[in-house]
Amino acid sequence: MELEDELKERFPYGHPRYVDLTLEELELHNAKNHDFAGGGDPLGNFYRTSIIKKLYPGFDWDSPFGSAIGLMLKQFDSMMWLRSQKIEAKVEGIPARLKDITIYMKLAILLYEEELSANK
């Protein structure tokens, strides 16, 4: 690969696989951004979910329960974006996003139950 060789020549002192990992990361970022933004704002998922979070100013987003809900919200937003924009996902499609949502929901139930039992 021409770019890979050029980067390795330009940055010769790092670990031999560092450039390879960086290029793999760029490929993954590109594919995921295709799914999360699909021609829209590359940071759209962050803006959309932050708007939703602002609707609940008293919600404890920094708790373990809130973290699980926030991660679920990110997957929910991605699923909605894929569907609304009719994007064929490159990394995780709608079924995978829906499965992630159900996993985060169950984890949120467990975290909520632990929180309740700790406060007794």
Nearest to 82 by CA among 72, 91, 94: 94
Token digits of residue 112: 């909520």
**Percent of the chain beyond pLDDT 90?**
90
Cα-based angle 90, 75, 52 (whole degrees, multiple of 5): 130
Mean of pLDDT values over 72-76: 96
* Contact status, residue 46 vs residue 79, Cβ threshold 8 Å: no
pLDDT value, residue 71: 96
Closest CA relative to residue 107, chosen from 56, 61, 67: 67
Domain count, the chain: 1
Asked if 34 contacts 90 with a C-beta cutoff of 8 angstroms, the reply is yes
7-19 pLDDT, tens per residue? 999 999 999 899 9
| 115, pLDDT greater than 70 | yes
pLDDT tens digits, one per residue of 13-46: 999 899 999 999 999 999 998 988 888 899 999 9
Handedness of CA 82, 88, 90, 94 (dihedral sign): positive
Domain that includes residue 44, residue range? 2-118
State the pTM of this model: 0.82
